[in-house]
Structures are given as C-alpha cells and as structure tokens.
Structure 1
Amino acid sequence: MSNHLTIVLSDLPAPAHWGKSAISFADETATIHLADAADRGQAVQAAARKLTSQGLRDVALVGEGWSPALQWRFACGFGEAMEPGTIQWASDGETLDAQRDAALWLKSLTHASPEALSPEVLADEVAERLSGLAPEHITTRQIVGDALLTAGWVGIHGVGRGSDRPPVLLELDYNPTGDHDAPVSVALVGKGITFDSGGYSLKPSAGMVTMKCDMGGAATVAAALKLAIRQGLSKRVKLYLCCAENLVSGHAYKLGDILHYKNGTSVEIVNTDAEGRLVLADGLIAANEAGAERIIDAATLTGAAMVAVGSDYNALFCADDLVASEALAAANAVGEGLWRLPLAPFHADKCPSAFADTANSAPVKGGGHGGASNAAGFLSRFAGTPPKGWIHLDLAGSYVAGNGLNGEGATALGLLTVTKLLLDA
C-alpha cells in the first residue's frame, strides 16, 4: 500500500463545510479546488505550501487537469529545505524528474553551510557532478588563489584574498559536437560568493545571516546546464563560475583600492559589499575571450532588484530589445517570472571615480537610486558585444524568507528560463 497521499484537481468549489479553504479531504485523497482561482498555477503552488505545512511529505498527483506546468508549480511549493519530500507525477514523469533533480541540486548547494561550501568545494562539486553526466564531452580547469592574479583575474582574486580559503575561477567546457574548434554557442557566468560578510563595508547581522545564498547565481547556471544536458543539449557551452568568500582580514581588499582588469578598465573600490560585480567582470571577460556567441550571467547581485520586482520575478537587463524579448519569451514559456528593468548606455557612467575609469558602486547605502541598473551598467563595461547578445539576470526571486508560495530558502526561480535559453540557442 502506497504511503503517498493522492492529490487531485477540481474545477468545483470546495463543499461548504470546508469554509473558504481551497483544499478538501476525503479518505486518502486531497482535492485542490480551482473554481475561484484567478491564477491556476499560483493556486496550485499555494495549495502545495498548505499541504506541506500540514506535515505531508509524500504525494501522488492523480487524475485529469494535471498539465506539466501545473505539476511543476505544485513541486515549486511542496516540501521544506531539509525535507523535500517525494512526488509521483500524473504524467511526463521523465521530464519532471529531471527538472526536480536539477532544482533540488541547486537548492542543496545554496542551503549548504558556508563552512561546508568553500569556493573550492563549490567548484569541485559542480565540476564533478556535470562531468559525470557526459565525461566524454566535458573538460574542466580551475585557477586557484594567487594563480588568479598571475592570470589577470583581479576581481575574483581581490574579493577572495581576505579569506584563508582561496578564491577559484572554474571553467567548464561542454562540447558534444566532436569538433575541437566548434564555436561556443553560449557562455554562462555565475556569481559564486559562498559567503558575503560585506568585507570592510560590513553587513549588519540581520543582513548577513542568509549570505550563504550569495552563490545562487553559480548554482542556477550550473543546474541549468545540468538540466539542459539531460534534455539533449547539442551545442557547445562554456560555464564560468566566479567563486570567492568576501571576508574581513589583514589581507582583505579595502575601500580606495584600485583593480586593473584585463580589458584595460580600472575600478576604484568604494564599497566592498558591491563585490559580486567585481567577480562577474572577470567571468564576462573570459566569456568574450572564448568568443561566445551569447553570454548569460546570473547573480544575486542587488537588493535594489528585490525592491523593484519582489520575490515573484527575477530582473532582466539587456541592451538589445530583440535579445530581451527572447529572454522574456523563454521565461513566459516555462512559467517563470522575469521583468525587464532599464539598462541604457549612460548607466555605465553612474559610478564615477576621480581615480579610476569607474568606481564599483556609488558610495552611498545600497548603491543609491537605480542601484540595480547601475550595477548592470558597471557590468556592461565588461560584457563586450557578443553577436547574439548579453543577458544579465539579477536573481531577485531566487531566495526567500518563506511565504505562501515558497518555503524558506532557495526557490530555483530562473532555472527553467536559463535551460530554455540554452536549448533554444
């Protein structure tokens, strides 16, 4: 006898004795009632949270009405960080199993304690897990510690040098074509700050407690590549993870320091808590050196993006309207929230410096007004002009305190969008 509670959908309202509840129970079955649902996906996800709060951990989705999209929305709301539970699908089990496997890996990386997940451990875990999927098609290289400085990756080295555990640039090359000279269809760049204290621009305790999640961009692009490979990705993709701990010590980078990047740009440090853009700059330069036709970066970059779009969306920045429309269409196709925010050429000059080409932020709390656009403008100095465009994702919705739709922790929002963009490249 199965231990899984059966979950069915109904377009009828719940019987009156259940009050305003959208869920009713009978025997070993729970029914989600969608009669009054303005958004069926949101209603199903909210119901999954309610069922989780009642202690349910093993369910079977049964009957008509369970489209793949609705099943996925249920999965997004179901389970807790330490108890994800199990789901038996109504249909499309192979596809949904692959999606959930990728999402749970993303979440496990993001939820790992910062002591357990050092920059090297993050790079090793991603390299090992992805190489295991297609060992004949994947090569990896890691540049660690002071070797970064020798190689010219001053952003990752500068941010990570304050920690006893060295920073790392992971380059992973997935090439299923059999042609060593095949073009790089897409380069993925992920922010992998495994813990962010803010450095000398120290965060308050309340703002630091969740900063193990600051490698969410790296986890998102790595999990998306994993899922795309499982779904038959046939083009060459390079993955760059920019991994570091942003800590305070006698070796840490300081306000007033100037970093000289490989592309000739000099950057004055006016806020050590604006570190994500510094490591991403190296990854963007590397992606351009690889000749990538399209570059996608993902990062838990700014609080300003969270203020702008909340936790229901990620923020999109793109200099090309056509490329932006492709990203928005990809998100819409997979049912993920993505909202475009402004990025104009003048945003590159919003962080002026008297001592360098640019500062890494405006020297005010939160980077000042328009902080998310200003951060994207900073990155535009390093993004180059790949022929199929540059897409910057500020992952505002990728980690939440817990609400009526998501449990506390990583949401995996953005995973399916990046996967779709890879498969459509």
Structure 2
Amino acid sequence: MTDYAALLKPDKGQQAHDLHLVNEAGFEDWLKSRPEGEREAVRAQAFAGKGYELAILPGEKADQWSAVLGVADPEALSTWCLAKAAATLPEGDYRLSEGTPGKAALGWLLAQYRFDDYKQAPDPEQQRILHTGEPAPIDEYVAIAEATDLVRSLVNIPAGDLGPAELQDAVEKAARDHDGKVTTTKGAGLADGYPMIDAVGRAATQDRAPRLIELEWGHDKHPRLAIVGKGVVFDSGGLDIKSAAGMRWMKKDMGGAAHALALALLVMRLKLPVRLHLLIPAVENAVAGNAFRPGDIIKSRKGLSVEIGNTDAEGRLILGDALAKACEDSPDLMIDFATLTGAARAALGPDLPALFTDDDELAAALSGAGSAIDDPVWRLPIWNGYEEWMKSEIADLSNNSSVPMAGATTAAIFLRKFVEPGTLWAHFDTFAWRSAAKPGRPKGGEALGLRASWEMLKARYRDD
C-alpha cells in the first residue's frame, strides 16, 4: 500500500515548490501579474488555465521553480482538481501559494495509488508531498485514502489469489489492528444456519469453501451499526453460466465486501461511537455436480423459501441470509454494498452507485453527503408495484423477476424481504470498477459510495 501518511504533512515552513491555481476566466489577469520569464515559460508550454493543465515556472535559482495549475474554481477546490498534478509533477515537496487544499488533499493522495504487485519491473515509486496549513483533517484524509486503496486493491487482485479464505484473512487483520472480534461460520454450521450462502458456494473447491465472516467492535452502550458486503470472489454464473465477455471481470464481484470492510475500517480507525457489526458472506459461484440448480427451492435463514429462477442471481441470495442475521441484533442502521445488477449500470452508468432505501431522510443524508465530497450517489425507487414480479407459484418468492425490466429495483425488493420491518436500511448497487482512467482514479477497482457513506455516518453519530 502507498504510504499516504508520508504524502500529506502540516506546513511548518519547509522548503517546497509553490503551486499557483488559476482558471480560464482569471488566467489573463494572473499572467499579467507574473514576471516576464514566467510569462514566456507559460506561453512556451501552451498553458491557458484549463482544468488539469500544468506549467512549470522558472525561479531565480534552479531549485526555486514553481508550477501553475488549471482548476475549475481556485476558490472552491474539488476533490480531484490537484490529482493530475500529483501524478505528473516531479518528485518533491509542494504547497499552495494561497489558501489550503481542503478536500483536494484527498485527490492528491489517491492520485498516487499504485497496484503493481504482478509486474516484474514496477515503475520507480515517486513521492509528491503536499504541505497544508490545515493540519486537522490530515489523519482523516489519510484514513480515507487507505480505505479507498483497500477497495481498489482487493478488487484488482485476481480471483485465483483472492478466495473466501483471503477475504477472511483481510477481516481478521482489521480486527487485530483495532481490537475487534471475528466469528466465521462455515461447513455444517453454515448449511444449517445460512442455507442460501451455503447453496451458492457449495460447488467451489474445498479450499474455497463458502463462509459468513462477522466482525464486531465497539461498546454495547453505543448505537448498533450493521455493514453488510456481497463477497462473491468469482461469479461464473453457476449453471446459468455467463458468456466469456460477461465473466471476464467477475473477479470484481466481491466489490461490495471490499466496500463494507473499508467502511468498517474507517469506523474503527477514526473511532466512531457505534457498536459495529460487519457481515461478509464469502462464496465462489462455481460449476460442479453439486451446484445449486434452476428450479431448486432453498430455505433461507429467515424461514422464507426461495425458488431459484436463475443461478446467476446469486448475490441477493447470500445477502438475504446476511441481512437476516444482522437484523436479529436490531441495528440502529444497516447499510449493504453489492455489485448486484447490470440493470443499475444500464440506468446510471459506471460512476453513480444506485441507492435504495425506504427512508427519505436517510436518502437525503446520503445524497447530500455524496454531493458535498464529490462521491455522488443516485436514489432509485423500491417500487412496491413490482413485488408481484418476484412471486413463485411453489415457494414464498423467486430470486429472479418474471419481467425483464427494472432489474435493480426488483433485486432491492428481494433484499427487502430479508430486512426486518422498521429497520433503517440503505442498499448500494455499486459498480466497484472504473473502465477508463480519470485524474486520481485509475482504471480498475474503485470505491463508489464509500466516502458518501462515511460522511453520512460522521454526521449521524459523532458528538462534535
């Protein structure tokens, strides 16, 4: 993992290169105020103040150069406006010539994320260090960067190297680091207590056996917070097998678990006053003679019987048992993350996680938090009129809609069947992936909805 704590430091007057921020509207006035040598350097580099543009400005001595960066608004920096500079400037120390970076400090950190574990000759690591006159948020920005790094890296690891056991290892490490307690249920205990998790994962090889991983942390006197994450480490589709193209990126189908663990780590590291309950059902949806079949009926932990309409709608099954377990402890709030449906991507594209909740205040809090910190989410409806599409003639419900529309909504309807009435609950259908790079956001695994959730939790539970 990148050493993010080394990349953001309090400004104590250390030697550093100045970063001047301008936009297109103010560029000409700024340029007129600069010395002739700087003006000539700017013109030679075709800098015009557009977003993400960068030009090096000469100083009186060779090591006294500075840089000018194009941003949308120098007075209201976004998370990502310094990210390209953080990835392309020469190695060294920097500070803004005016003001403080605010949330742009996080983008500075995340632009220096690296995943080169599988490269024989990784690029040399370079550190671009930002000094800020606003030291109070540094620890939180570093924690968020580390949590985002965890999501990205877990998703990026090939499925052959990340099975249910490795997810369990990651949760156990988090527990050791923060005095949490882990309970893992597998084998006969899983089959008896969590039959849908067992059914989905039983076709995998013995060393990749299904399990429910739980972590508890915090004091009983605090409100109980349940965080649930879909941990399908690889999804072949089961007997309703995916196409080659559909299977290619299914290493990322545990992205919900990565988000859930990352959010739990933020809760523990930054000591949110809650009683945390993390639940990760971890499975591989494989093909073998004992795989669950279309037409099978599976009894759930909650007691509802589920007819299997499609074995590729497996994520909702394992989440159903986990949500039911979480509700048995009457949480004050429950959040789940899942790479659940292609329908959510068809509706919202890759950048916007679909948010589902029956509570308008919770939806507004999450949406507002996401907008404020450049981690947008978009609410979709849990439309009660579509409940009939999830009916089965011979079981309590089907795991597959009878109508090929509104797939993200019908998946949320299915999950809601396993949430105890009256439980405050939010469900994220997130992509956990970036198909094309943007400044600070490389191609590959990505945290989408994580920071919005953390910001909402801070507002809800922090006393200060």
CA offsets, 1:84-115, max 9 Å, x none?
Answer: 86452333432222221222122222212211
Q: Is the 8 A contact 1:184 1:290 kept in 2?
A: no
Aligned position for 1:419: 454
For the residue of structure 2 that corresponds to 1:342, the secondary structure is coil
Aligned position for 1:161: 202
Aligned position for 2:156: 111
For the residue of structure 2 that corresponds to 1:172, the secondary structure is strand
Residue 312 (structure 1) aligned with residue 346 (structure 2) = no
Deviation at 1:260, TM superposition (A): 1.1
Q: Is the 8 A contact 2:171 2:215 kept in 1?
A: no
Aligned position for 1:331: 370
State the distance in 1 between where 2:75 and 2:411 align: 36
Residue 150 (structure 1) aligned with residue 192 (structure 2) = yes
State the distance in 2 between where 1:381 and 1:3 align: 46
Aligned position for 2:95: 62
Structure 2 counterpart of 1:262, from 301, 324, 328: 301
* AA in 1 matched with 2:339: T
* AA in 1 matched with 2:455: K
Moved more, 31-40 or 401-410: 31-40
State the distance in 1 between where 2:287 and 2:163 align: 16
State the distance in 2 between where 1:377 and 1:346 align: 10
Shift in CA distance, 376/36, structure 1 to aligned 2, threshold 3 Å: same
State the distance in 2 between where 1:238 and 1:190 align: 11
Deviation at 1:419, TM superposition (A): 2.1
Residue 383 (structure 1) aligned with residue 426 (structure 2) = no
Deviation at 1:132, TM superposition (A): 2.4
Q: Is the 8 A contact 1:295 1:390 kept in 2?
A: yes
State the distance in 2 between where 1:274 and 1:6 align: 53
Q: Is the 8 A contact 2:79 2:103 kept in 1?
A: no
State the distance in 1 between where 2:72 and 2:222 align: 51
Aligned position for 2:407: 371
Shift in CA distance, 363/199, structure 1 to aligned 2, threshold 3 Å: farther
State the distance in 2 between where 1:78 and 1:362 align: 43
For the residue of structure 2 that corresponds to 1:90, the secondary structure is strand
Deviation at 1:325, TM superposition (A): 1.4
Aligned position for 2:69: 32
Q: Is the 8 A contact 1:80 1:408 kept in 2?
A: no
Deviation at 1:309, TM superposition (A): 1.6
Moved more, 220-229 or 66-75: 66-75
Moved more, 69-78 or 412-421: 69-78
Q: Percent identity?
A: 31
State the distance in 1 between where 2:80 and 2:163 align: 38
Shift in CA distance, 31/209, structure 1 to aligned 2, threshold 3 Å: farther
State the distance in 1 between where 2:217 and 2:367 align: 25
Higher relative contact order (CA 8 A, sep 6+): 1
For the residue of structure 1 that corresponds to 2:140, the secondary structure is helix
Deviation at 1:330, TM superposition (A): 2.6
* AA in 1 matched with 2:215: L
CA offsets, 1:174-215, max 9 Å, x none?
Answer: 12x2x4xx4652101110111111111211222212111111
State the distance in 1 between where 2:243 and 2:112 align: 32
- Structure 1 gaps of 5+ residues are none
State the distance in 2 between where 1:45 and 1:248 align: 46
Deviation at 1:359, TM superposition (A): 1.3
* AA in 1 matched with 2:81: V
* AA in 2 matched with 1:62: R
- Structure 2 gaps of 5+ residues are 1-5, 9-15, 28-41, 59-64, 117-122
For the residue of structure 1 that corresponds to 2:289, the secondary structure is coil
Aligned position for 2:292: 253
User: What's the C-alpha RMSD, in Å, of the aligned pairs?
Assistant: 2.8
CA offsets, 1:349-396, max 9 Å, x none?
Answer: 3223222222111367xxx21111111011110112345x11001113
State the distance in 2 between where 1:58 and 1:97 align: 19
Deviation at 1:264, TM superposition (A): 2.3
Aligned position for 1:194: 233
State the distance in 2 between where 1:352 and 1:190 align: 25
Q: Is the 8 A contact 1:317 1:391 kept in 2?
A: yes
Deviation at 1:225, TM superposition (A): 1.4
Aligned position for 2:443: 408
Aligned position for 2:3: none
State the distance in 2 between where 1:270 and 1:33 align: 53
* AA in 2 matched with 1:173: E
For the residue of structure 2 that corresponds to 1:188, the secondary structure is strand
State the distance in 2 between where 1:170 and 1:331 align: 28
Deviation at 1:348, TM superposition (A): 3.2
Shift in CA distance, 58/131, structure 1 to aligned 2, threshold 3 Å: farther
Residue 174 (structure 1) aligned with residue 220 (structure 2) = no
State the distance in 2 between where 1:218 and 1:280 align: 11
Aligned position for 1:356: 395
Give aligned pairs, total: 407
Deviation at 1:161, TM superposition (A): 0.6
Q: Is the 8 A contact 2:315 2:340 kept in 1?
A: yes
Aligned position for 1:44: 81
User: With structure 2 as the length reference, what TM-score do the two structures score?
Assistant: 0.80
Q: Is the 8 A contact 2:72 2:81 kept in 1?
A: no
Aligned position for 1:95: 140
State the distance in 1 between where 2:126 and 2:264 align: 24
Structure 2 counterpart of 1:11, from 1, 22, 47: 22
Aligned position for 1:276: 315
Deviation at 1:420, TM superposition (A): 2.5
Q: Is the 8 A contact 1:76 1:411 kept in 2?
A: no
For the residue of structure 2 that corresponds to 1:412, the secondary structure is coil
CA offsets, 1:254-313, max 9 Å, x none?
Answer: 111111112221111111111111110011101111111111101111111112222222
Q: Which of 1 and 2 has greater Rg?
A: 2
Q: Is the 8 A contact 1:69 1:335 kept in 2?
A: no
Poorly superposed stretches of 4+, deviation over 6 Å: 2-5, 36-39
